[in-house]
């Protein structure tokens, strides 16, 4: 594993790398014995988009912070409080996620943006294991206006507000739209896991859940 940590917005991955970004997260390889059990994440169906309800007023964006490494992520609405581990890319160009033995850990793509800095920082986590829900099991139930907090190694807590929640099939996947920065100069965050239905023959999920948020506050 390589942390590949960089400051700022980090390097832009190639289209091929973006296309396989989630491979290690949503495919069950030969090291997993048997097919997964009856668990199914709440993000069912092949395509869904919560988007931004018209009656939700979102706060103004906070100016980006100086780069700092993430230590912990908290999602109060989901009762998630998880350590963050820097991850690199595997030989196929996909993010190397935390192991299934660390299903309560969130992986941060350390070769890209640090949460709170300008750009789009990527955090990935498993939806479940063969036997139990994992850290991002309920991710698809988040709504615009809810908050995500990232504790950083400079002593600050970057507070993000969710502005978009989507379940996107692999067939309709647009890497740039999913993971690219939505607004130039803004500090953004993506929380990503598997979604859709679990295809036992392919040993993979049919979609990805992508939660987008942007920096709206900081505690020092």
Q: Quick one: pLDDT band at residue 37, thresholds 50, 70, 90?
A: very low
SS3 189: strand
SS3 181: coil
Report the predicted TM-score, pTM, of the whole model to 2 decimal places.
0.80
Over residues 159-168, mean pLDDT:
95
What domains sit in the chain, N to C, each tagged with a CATH number? 15-28+41-219 (2.40.260.10)
Can you read off the two tokens belonging to residue 27? 């495919």
Helices (H) and strands (E) in the chain, counts: 3, 9
pLDDT of residue 95: 75
Asked if 8 contacts 118 with a C-beta cutoff of 8 angstroms, the reply is: yes
Asked if 121 contacts 189 with a C-beta cutoff of 8 angstroms, the reply is: yes
Q: Quick one: pLDDT band at residue 179, thresholds 50, 70, 90?
A: confident
DSSP state of 144: T
pLDDT (tens digit, 9 = 90+) per residue, 85-144?
Answer: 999 987 777 778 899 999 999 999 999 999 999 999 999 999 998 889 999 999 999 999
Q: How many CB atoms lie within 10 A of CB 140?
A: 25
- Tell me the helix, strand and coil percentages in the chain, rounded to 5: 10, 40, 50
Q: Quick one: pLDDT band at residue 203, thresholds 50, 70, 90?
A: confident
Instruction: Select the more confidently predicted residue: 37 or 61.
Output: 61
Asked if 78 contacts 141 with a C-beta cutoff of 8 angstroms, the reply is: yes
Cα distance between residue 101 and residue 194, in whole Å:
17
Asked if 82 contacts 124 with a C-beta cutoff of 8 angstroms, the reply is: no
């Amino acid at each position: 594993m390589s942390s590949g940590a960089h400051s700022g917005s980090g390097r832009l991955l190639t289209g091929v790398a973006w296309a396989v970004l989630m491979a290690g997260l949503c495919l069950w390889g030969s090291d997993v014995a048997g097919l997964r059990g009856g668990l199914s994440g709440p993000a069912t169906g092949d395509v869904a988009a919560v988007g931004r309800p018209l009656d939700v007023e979102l706060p103004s964006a906070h100016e980006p912070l100086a780069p700092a490494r993430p230590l912990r992520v908290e999602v109060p609405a989901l009762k998630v409080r998880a350590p963050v581990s820097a991850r690199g890319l595997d030989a196929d160009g996909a993010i190397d996620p935390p192991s299934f033995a660390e299903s309560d850990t969130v992986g941060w793509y350390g070769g890209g943006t640090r949460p709170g800095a300008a750009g789009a920082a990527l955090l990935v986590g498993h939806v479940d294991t063969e036997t139990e829900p994992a850290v991002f099991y309920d991710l698809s139930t988040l709504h615009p206006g809810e908050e995500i907090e990232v504790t950083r190694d400079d002593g600050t807590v970057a507070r993000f507000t969710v502005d978009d929640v989507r379940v996107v099939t692999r067939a309709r996947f647009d890497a740039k739209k999913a993971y690219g920065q939505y607004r130039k100069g803004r500090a953004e965050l993506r929380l990503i896991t598997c979604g859709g239905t679990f295809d036992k023959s392919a040993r993979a999920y049919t979609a990805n859940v992508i939660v987008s948020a942007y920096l709206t506050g900081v505690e020092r």
